[in-house]
Amino acid sequence: MTALPDSRTEPDGSAVVRVLSYNIRSLRDDRAALARVIRACAPDLVLIQEAPRFFRWRKAAERLARESGLVYVTGGATTAGPMILSSLRAHVERTEDVLLPRTPGLHRRGLATAVVRIGRARFGVLSCHLSLAAGERHGQAGLLLEHLERLGVPYAVVAGDLNDRPQGRSFRLLAHSLTDAWAARPWGGEFTSTPRDPHQRIDAVFTTGGIEVLGCGVPYGLPGVHAADLVAATDHLPVLAALRVPADAP
> Coil, helix or strand for 240?
strand
pLDDT per position as a tens digit, 129-159: 999 999 999 999 999 999 999 999 999 999 9
127, 48, 62, 123: which is closest to 93 by C-alpha?
123
Give residue limits of the domains in the chain: 8-245
Residue 227 CB coordination number (10 Å): 10
**Across 13-21, average pLDDT:** 98
Residue 194: pLDDT band (50, 70, 90) is very high
Average pLDDT, the chain: 97
Contacts of residue 121, Cβ cutoff 8 Å, sequence gap at least 6: 13, 14, 15, 17, 155, 245, 246, 247, 248
> Coil, helix or strand for 221?
coil
Query: Which CATH fold would you assign to the domain 8-245?
Result: Deoxyribonuclease I; Chain A (3.60.10)
Contacts of residue 136, Cβ cutoff 8 Å, sequence gap at least 6: 103, 106, 109
pLDDT per position as a tens digit, 196-207: 999 999 999 999
In this prediction, residue 22 carries a pLDDT of: 98
In this prediction, residue 250 carries a pLDDT of: 67
**Across 115-127, average pLDDT:** 97
pLDDT per position as a tens digit, 54-72: 989 999 999 999 999 999 9
> Coil, helix or strand for 111?
strand
Looking at residue 19, its amino acid is: V
In this prediction, residue 53 carries a pLDDT of: 92
